[in-house]
Structure 1
Amino acid sequence: MRRFSYGFIVIFILFLSIFSCREDLDYQTASHPLRFSKDTILLDTVFSTIRSQTYVLKVYNQQNEDVTIPLIYLDKGINSQFKINVDGTPGTHENNNRFVNVPIKAKDKISIFIEVAPKSIDSTSLVADEDLIFNTLGNSQKVKLLTLIEDADFYYSAGGNIKINSDLVWDKSKPKVIYGNLEIDNGSKLTIEEGTPVYFHKDASLIINNKSKLFVNGTLNSKVTFRSDRRNARYDSLAGNWKQIKLMHQAEATINYSLLKGGENAFYLEEGSKLNITNTEIYNFLYSGIYSEGGNVVGQNLAMNNFGFAALFVENGGNYNFTHCTFANYWNLTTGTTYSVYLSNKQQNSAENIYKNLSATFNNNIFWGRSANNLYLDNKNLKLFNYKFNTNLIRNSNLNINTDSNFNNTILDKDPLFNKTGYSNTVLSLKPNSPAKNNGNPNFSVTVPLDILGVDRALNPSLGAYQ
């Protein structure tokens, strides 16, 4: 009797386990229209062979019964430029991106995860336009998927470093995408022509080695852009998505009409390197816009904003001359003091105290941001520390600007009234009632007769990059 009872119990449990796993036996075929969180999904512009971030589509069962969706599929099947995952089940070559009898509980939802997974393309760009189709009983519904796929020139090495040992010219025929470190070496020259977009993968850098040169030849209406390869516009407002453009000892760079966003440092200069930079915007960097360890910089018509430390950070001395530049810093993403400009003749990270000569001149500029002390002078008095600030607007409560003969004709602690200072949309042009309007010294503007937008500033020049 015990043997019979034991056997009966085992069979009964087995029966229950089998049928409890067959929830679909209680599901009806969906007969009412489904509801979607979006009817069109616009995905990032991506480069051929490089996947996008993941997007989510919610699919809602509006019926009071548990139902199955008979068929969900991409209309181009295995030839699709997209990949989908339906509630945890990925689309594969085997299932041809087709999903059969997908269950949804009553008044519940499922999630569909969508990526661009582009195949190589035959043209410079391709609009990927496809329908994600849902078949229910007597009904068919569609969600539109759209993206732009671009061909690009990739600079990638499994070892993380690529060295270019001969002169190279980049033009706008294709975007340039850098993985790891791309080094211009052996005294070679990289020339980047107007309108060329340059994209950096996470942690990527462009390095100009000893005695090599970089020329960026943007124009007012066709700038050269440097930014992350994450193409969604929100990544422009996030710092730290790539590393930097680094000028090694005795390297040189001449930059005109460029736009840089979203890295760690826009430019990093080693001692003895040279940077001549004009008509350039630099926004949203984790550390600095220009980070110089004893370099040499001439800057005109620069507009800079949002840095974790300083728009211009100088240590170990060097030579600097800036005219009609806007050094703003409205950074508020981390704690600690931030600056528009930080000048030091000390080598900050050295095991011993090392000091180098510093010479810096600033004419017709603006220094402004969240911090009350936007300008910091770290003078150790053990080496030459020459500085001149001629006709500038400065926010600072730490320096004795009014009694320091190195400051001439300073507008102190008056808000310059920029138009926009946010991370996603910085416009550092001046409002009509700005105290920086028409208060520049014409003797300095003669050397920079047009502002960053090409506006004549010969008469009554305003301070900063914008007339």
Structure 2
Amino acid sequence: MKKAWFLSIIGLVLLFSWSCREDFDYEPSVGQLSFSKDTVFLDTVFKGISSSTYSLTVYNTSSTDIRIPTVTLKNGEQSQYRLNVNGNAGNSFTDVPLLAKDSLFIFIETTVTNVNENEFLYTDVLQLGQEDNYQEVPLITLVKQANFIYADGTSRKKTIQIGQDIDGNPIQVDGFVLKDDQLELVNTQPYVVYGYAIVPENKQLNVAAGSRVHFHSNSGIYISSNSQLNVNGVLSEDINQLENEVIFEGDRLEPEFAHVAGQWGGIIFEANSINNSLHHLTIKNAQIGIQIKGAPNDDAPNIQLNNCQIHNSSIVNMMSQGGSFTAVNSVFGSAGNNSVLLQKGGSYSFTHCTLANYWNEGFRTQPAFFIHATENGGSYPLSLVMENSIIDGSTFSEIALSIDISTIQELRFNHTSLKTTTLDLTPDISIEASEYFINPILNPALTYLNPNKLLFWPQSGSETLDIGDPNISADFPKDIHGVDRMTSPDLGAKELLP
């Protein structure tokens, strides 16, 4: 009995030893691997910012189980690429098993921190096999140089409020105050902002035509009271390249991030930041594109928007809390909630604007345009004029009002299309009331070039073409892209493409 028990133990030990020898039935790889790609191109990254994760599939097309003696990077520990093989991270691996007719995934990332100023490509080589008989796959990354704006050891930090949580509690973050030499942004290189950059009181942040400003996650610009943001974009000759446009967006340059909402915070204007001037500015993929906090004096608006576009914010594109702005030839596109949200009253003017929310990243319950001038039984003064404009989107009703008519200073929709299922927007305000609605266009057939890619040009057959009031257009004879609209103007910011 003891002998049988002893032999059983020996058998188990041998079986265990057999199963643990990964190389027992594996032959070394001798160049018979094939790959899903001849070269792995990691899309453009900014110097110092991590890339997305890319994959390479390695195939063993033979009928033999093999082991790959080495999976390594040619530059070894000095490489700025990172690998993950079989769930293990590193730069080099040995004796990697690969069964017959099976495949292996290798995941690749990079953060390029060390590259010569005049170099634009960072490269390395993935090597598989054994020395003198490696199979190689080049790795290539385009590195974009940038000017970085962030809090350093000499920056003055300041706590700011960027919003409220669902319970109404303030959300506060530590920002950093911009220095005088950071208040002039030019177009020679893109900028990358880390954190909330604060324009100090009594200062101006000026952004030159053609500038590109990228924001890291949880970053943005905070315009203090009595300070200004001046964006000086001008008309571009190429409507696709927008070479003279100023663009604010996230810092992920890979194509798969081109239309990912909520990559960065947004632009916040503190109360009494007035006479901000935004020309030919595109803001995209923020959380709240523009937020205005508080009301200015009666004579000067917080912001003047001319030929601007705000797209694809995860929450709201344009939100004002008792502030004021004028918007001309501007597009307020898709957003997770509202294209435009006006709270606590205020004073607003829209001329030849397109408000069109075709959000496709989830279920949306909020209208494209929401005016909320009442709160907790109280109401706020409201002045709103919208002319030759469009209110549209993918839900049945894209306009909602919460207004006390006793506090209305002015309310006029003139030659504006509205998508709505009801004529009675409130118990006291009907679209049939001519003192509020002049020549309204209800639920017109309307299509765009490609709203999912932020292309809100109306298409032939849209019922908003050629029906604008020419008396209004006379003061704005060209659309956002410089197309003439003097005869038979279309509604909205964009004329039909010639």
- The alignment's TM-score, normalised by the length of structure 2, stands at 0.85
Superposition deviation, residue 464 in structure 1: 0.7
Letter of the 1:108 partner, please give it. D
Residue 128 of structure 2 is aligned to residue 114 of structure 1: no
Residue in 2 aligned with 1:322?
A: 350
Residue in 1 aligned with 2:29?
A: 30
2:325 to 297, 305, 328: 297
Distance in 2 (CA, whole Å) between partners of 1:397 and 1:251 is 38
* Farther off after superposition, 355-364 or 99-108: 99-108
Summarize the Cα distance change of 1:65–1:170 in structure 2 as closer, same or farther, 3 Å threshold: same
Residue in 2 aligned with 1:410?
A: 440
Task: Verify the 8 A CA contact 1:30 1:137 in the aligned structure 2.
Answer: no
1:209 to 218, 224, 229: 224
Residue 273 of structure 2 is aligned to residue 251 of structure 1: yes
Task: Verify the 8 A CA contact 2:223 2:269 in the aligned structure 1.
Answer: yes
Distance in 2 (CA, whole Å) between partners of 1:181 and 1:98 is 39
Task: Verify the 8 A CA contact 1:48 1:149 in the aligned structure 2.
Answer: yes
Superposition deviation, residue 379 in structure 1: 0.9
2:368 to 328, 332, 340: 340
SS of the aligned residue for 1:24 comes to coil
Identity of aligned residues (%): 31
Residue in 2 aligned with 1:226?
A: 248
Letter of the 2:437 partner, please give it. F
Superposition deviation, residue 137 in structure 1: 10
Task: Verify the 8 A CA contact 1:155 1:162 in the aligned structure 2.
Answer: no
* Farther off after superposition, 357-366 or 181-190: 181-190
SS of the aligned residue for 2:43 comes to coil
Superposition deviation, residue 303 in structure 1: 1.7
Letter of the 1:57 partner, please give it. L
Equivalenced residue count is 455
Distance in 1 (CA, whole Å) between partners of 2:456 and 2:105 is 42
Superposition deviation, residue 203 in structure 1: 2.0
* Farther off after superposition, 15-24 or 321-330: 15-24
Residue in 2 aligned with 1:132?
A: 126
Superposition deviation, residue 336 in structure 1: 4.6
Residue 163 of structure 2 is aligned to residue 148 of structure 1: no
Residue 68 of structure 2 is aligned to residue 64 of structure 1: no
Residue 211 of structure 2 is aligned to residue 188 of structure 1: no
Task: Verify the 8 A CA contact 1:178 1:205 in the aligned structure 2.
Answer: yes
* Farther off after superposition, 69-78 or 274-283: 69-78
Residue in 1 aligned with 2:292?
A: 269
Distance in 2 (CA, whole Å) between partners of 1:233 and 1:277 is 28
SS of the aligned residue for 2:405 comes to coil
Distance in 1 (CA, whole Å) between partners of 2:75 and 2:130 is 19
Task: Verify the 8 A CA contact 1:329 1:338 in the aligned structure 2.
Answer: no
Structure 1's unaligned 5+ residue stretches are 92-96
Residue in 2 aligned with 1:364?
A: 388
* Farther off after superposition, 248-257 or 125-134: 125-134
State the Cα deviation string for residues 340-391 of structure 1 (Å, max 9, x = none).
21112224xxxx4442211011111111112222122211235235211111
Task: Verify the 8 A CA contact 2:22 2:97 in the aligned structure 1.
Answer: no
Task: Verify the 8 A CA contact 1:125 1:148 in the aligned structure 2.
Answer: no
Task: Verify the 8 A CA contact 1:178 1:199 in the aligned structure 2.
Answer: yes
Residue in 1 aligned with 2:259?
A: 237
Letter of the 2:20 partner, please give it. C
Summarize the Cα distance change of 1:124–1:305 in structure 2 as closer, same or farther, 3 Å threshold: farther
Superposition deviation, residue 316 in structure 1: 0.5
Superposition deviation, residue 114 in structure 1: 0.1
Superposition deviation, residue 75 in structure 1: 2.9
Letter of the 1:25 partner, please give it. F
State the Cα deviation string for residues 108-143 of structure 1 (Å, max 9, x = none).
121111001212333266112333233379965333
SS of the aligned residue for 1:250 comes to coil
Task: Verify the 8 A CA contact 2:122 2:143 in the aligned structure 1.
Answer: yes
Residue 220 of structure 2 is aligned to residue 199 of structure 1: no
Letter of the 1:103 partner, please give it. P
Residue in 1 aligned with 2:86?
A: 87
Residue 402 of structure 2 is aligned to residue 378 of structure 1: yes
Residue in 2 aligned with 1:94?
A: none
State the Cα deviation string for residues 198-217 of structure 1 (Å, max 9, x = none).
11222222110111111111
Letter of the 1:249 partner, please give it. A
Distance in 1 (CA, whole Å) between partners of 2:401 and 2:106 is 55
- The alignment's TM-score, normalised by the length of structure 1, stands at 0.90
* Farther off after superposition, 448-457 or 338-347: 338-347
Structure 2's unaligned 5+ residue stretches are 158-173, 237-243, 297-301, 424-429
Superposition deviation, residue 152 in structure 1: 2.2
Distance in 1 (CA, whole Å) between partners of 2:224 and 2:145 is 28
SS of the aligned residue for 1:20 comes to helix
Task: Verify the 8 A CA contact 2:45 2:254 in the aligned structure 1.
Answer: no
Letter of the 2:342 partner, please give it. V
Distance in 1 (CA, whole Å) between partners of 2:395 and 2:306 is 26
State the Cα deviation string for residues 297-335 of structure 1 (Å, max 9, x = none).
111111222112221110111111111111101124343
Q: CA RMSD in A?
A: 2.4
Distance in 2 (CA, whole Å) between partners of 1:339 and 1:260 is 20
Letter of the 1:262 partner, please give it. N
Residue 387 of structure 2 is aligned to residue 393 of structure 1: no
Distance in 2 (CA, whole Å) between partners of 1:341 and 1:178 is 30
Summarize the Cα distance change of 1:237–1:111 in structure 2 as closer, same or farther, 3 Å threshold: same
Residue in 2 aligned with 1:279?
A: 307
State the Cα deviation string for residues 3-32 of structure 1 (Å, max 9, x = none).
x66666555544443342112121112246
Residue 333 of structure 2 is aligned to residue 309 of structure 1: no
State the Cα deviation string for residues 276-310 of structure 1 (Å, max 9, x = none).
11112221112211100011111111122211222
SS of the aligned residue for 1:121 comes to coil
